[in-house]
Amino acid sequence: MSDQPSQAVQDYLKAIHGLGGADRVVSPADIAVDMEVKAPSVTGMLKRLAEAGWIEYTPGTGAKLTPAGLAEARRVIRRHRLLELFLTKVLGLDWSEVDAEAEALEHAVSPRLEQAIAAHLGEPLEDPHGHPIPTATGELRQRELQRLSEFRAGDCVVIREAQDDNPERLRRWRDLGLTPGTTVHIVGYEPLDDLFDVEVAGRLIKLGSEGLAGLRGEVVSTARG
């Protein structure tokens, strides 16, 4: 097994991890959709990853990360999320811009530079979008979060994470104040129109499930029995 896997290998391991491949088998079809590549090229790559010891792969079923694959995936995720935080906090980039920039930079960051960035930022726990940053030894904090569209009237919810792959949506959430750490109150829900009344910092806004898609949080309190 190579000590320095290629960019393609790193991208696949990160994608498999993102789809839950640390704990369960992920289908090639899901990987193809996530990476926006054709199914035959996924199958070929999964075979190579299995031969190199990064994944356990069963043709027709899917892939799961081995301990080595899990460690490498989390190294890449750590670099990516540290870079996102560095780009926002130190260089002042908007949170809607940094996912693509970090994607381009993550493969070029050496362990020494990664360590320096982490130290400069004070060994941070989360990236700008609220996602936990793996530790230097590969631990990743797990949280039980729900999509905001799963909460109902009366729930007081703190936003913990914002999906970071849609810059336009991130800018919209920022303008509305729907950012990690913010507490919102679900005032009402109209199932027929699929519209939520959400109170944010004293302002009432109306959003559908699609407008909330990608925001995840947890209940602080509820008015329901």
pLDDT in tens, 165-220: 899 999 999 999 999 999 999 999 999 999 999 999 999 999 999 999 999 999 99
Amino acid at residue number 21 = G
Residues carrying CATH 2.30.30.90, the chain:
146-219
Q: How is domain 146-219 classified at the architecture level of CATH? A: Roll (2.30)
Three-class SS of residue 166? coil
Amino acid at residue number 114 = E
Confirm if 19 and 31 have CB atoms less than 8 A apart.
yes
pLDDT tens readout for residues 103-160? 999 999 999 999 999 999 999 999 999 999 999 999 999 889 999 999 989 999 999 9
Within its chain, how far is the Cα of 96 from the centroid? 14
158: burial class by Cβ within 10 Å (0-12, 13-18, 19+)? middle
H helical segments located in 19-94: 28-35, 39-51, 67-89
Residues carrying CATH 1.10.10.10, the chain:
7-65
Three-class SS of residue 219? strand
What sign does the CA torsion over 161, 166, 170, 173 have?
A: negative
d(CA 147, CA 211): 11
pLDDT given for residue 4 in this prediction:
73
Say if pTM beats, i.e. exceeds, 0.75.
yes
Residue 45 has pLDDT above 50, yes or no: yes
d(CA 172, CA 163): 12
Amino acid at residue number 223 = A
Within its chain, how far is the Cα of 221 from the centroid? 25
Pick the CATH number of 7-65 from 3.40.50.300, 1.10.10.10, 3.40.50.970, 1.10.3080.10: 1.10.10.10
pLDDT given for residue 62 in this prediction:
94
- Rounded to an integer, the average pLDDT of 10-16 is 96
